[in-house]
């Protein structure tokens, strides 16, 4: 048996997976075991009876925590910290929420159409107080479509890394440098897919525009909410959330 040399692509694969594992917030096995642990009808209606402002703040808080973990993921990705600080910020501003939505499929139970939220699995109706039924439905549909791909943890890790390290984001200063890093990630991802006989996955990934549209709708909905509730100061939201979305 010949020894297997550690080619750089393989090291990058290890790094992407380790970065994901260290920052994914919720363990995959844990999430699987807790499927079926759904909110009771009383708990659901308590969420539904909350004032819109309170539910928005709650969700903003959870999303902010998730974004902070994505920032940590980015920092651990080999090559990311070598980009200019300006470009790091551009990539995170554009991609952090998209990565949260990719990561959502790990916390999503397609059989019951529920997502892990504040300790239990919740259906879309739990978020009714937000007043953005359509957006929540689209987010659930997106999670459903990713679940159908049956991602492994390595695949979620690479899809996340490639959502983040995207040389076609506007306003990049050193586009070539980002493109090089993106190229390395792309090659390592393809090697992994070949090794695991999952090449078919690439053609089945949702188009990029789908994620972009969801994030844009989120920002629109936040704007609508703030206009309709002039009594709620934007300062009621976490600073990082405001910075990214308001």
Gap between the Cα atoms of 131 and 137, Å rounded? 12
Q: Select from 38-46, 130-138, 164-172, 185-193 the region that touches ligand CLR (CB under 6 A).
A: 130-138
**One residue of 83, 91, 92, 132 binding ligand CLR per CB under 6 A:** 132
CA dihedral 214, 217, 218, 221 (to 10 degrees): -160
Stretch that binds ligand CLR, among 58-66, 72-80, 89-97, 206-214 (CB under 6 A): 58-66
Q: Considering beta carbons, is residue 12 or 100 the nearer one to ligand CLR?
A: 100
As given in the structure block, the two tokens for residue 7 are: 């080619």
Give me the least distance between CB of 4 and ligand CLR, in Å please. 33
**Which of these segments, 39-47, 128-136, 156-164, 191-199, binds ligand CLR (CB under 6 A)?**
128-136
| Binding-site string for ligand CLR from residue 94 to residue 113, where x marks contact by CB under 6 A and - marks none | ------x--xx--x------
Rounded distance between C-alpha atoms, residue 206 and residue 208, angstroms: 6
- CB proximity list for 28: less than 8 A, separation 6 or greater: 106, 153
Find the binder of ligand CLR among 115, 146, 172, 201 (CB under 6 A).
115
> What DSSP character marks residue 129?
G
Q: Please tell me whether residue 120 adopts helix, strand or coil conformation.
A: strand
Residues 174-213 that bind ligand CLR (CB under 6 A): none
Helices (H), ranges, the chain: 8-23, 28-33, 41-49, 52-76, 85-103, 133-147, 153-164, 175-195, 201-204, 208-228, 239-245
The answer to whether residue 116 forms part of the interface with ligand CLR (CB under 6 A) is yes
Q: Which is nearer to ligand CLR, 154 or 221 (CB)?
A: 221
Closest distance of CB 59 from ligand CLR, Å: 4
CA–CA gap between residue 118 and residue 122 (Å, rounded): 9
CB under 6 A: which stretch of 125-133, 169-177, 188-196, 235-243 binds ligand CLR?
A: 125-133
């Amino acid at each position: 048996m010949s020894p297997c040399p550690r080619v750089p692509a393989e090291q990058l694969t290890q790094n992407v997976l380790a970065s994901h594992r260290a920052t994914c917030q919720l363990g995959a096995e844990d999430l699987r075991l807790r499927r079926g642990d759904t909110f009771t009808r009383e708990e659901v209606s308590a969420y539904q009876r909350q004032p819109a402002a309170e539910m928005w703040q709650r969700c903003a808080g959870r999303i902010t925590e998730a974004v902070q973990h994505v920032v940590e993921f980015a920092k651990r990705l080999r090559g990311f910290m070598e980009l200019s600080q300006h470009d790091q910020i551009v990539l995170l501003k554009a991609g952090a929420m998209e990565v949260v939505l990719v990561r959502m499929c790990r916390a999503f139970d397609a059989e019951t159409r529920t997502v892990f939220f504040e300790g239990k699995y919740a259906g879309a109706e739990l978020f009714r107080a937000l007043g953005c039924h359509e957006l929540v439905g689209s987010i659930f549909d997106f999670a459903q479509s990713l679940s159908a791909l049956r991602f492994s943890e390595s695949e979620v890790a690479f899809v996340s890394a490639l959502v983040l390290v995207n040389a076609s984001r506007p306003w990049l200063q050193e586009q070539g440098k980002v493109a090089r890093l993106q190229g390395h990630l792309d090659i390592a991802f393809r090697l992994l897919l070949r090794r695991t006989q999952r090449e078919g996955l690439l053609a089945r990934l949702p188009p990029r525009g789908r994620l972009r549209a969801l994030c844009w709708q989120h920002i629109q909905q936040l704007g609508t909410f703030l206009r309709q509730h002039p009594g709620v100061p934007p300062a009621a939201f976490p600073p990082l959330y405001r910075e990214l979305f308001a």
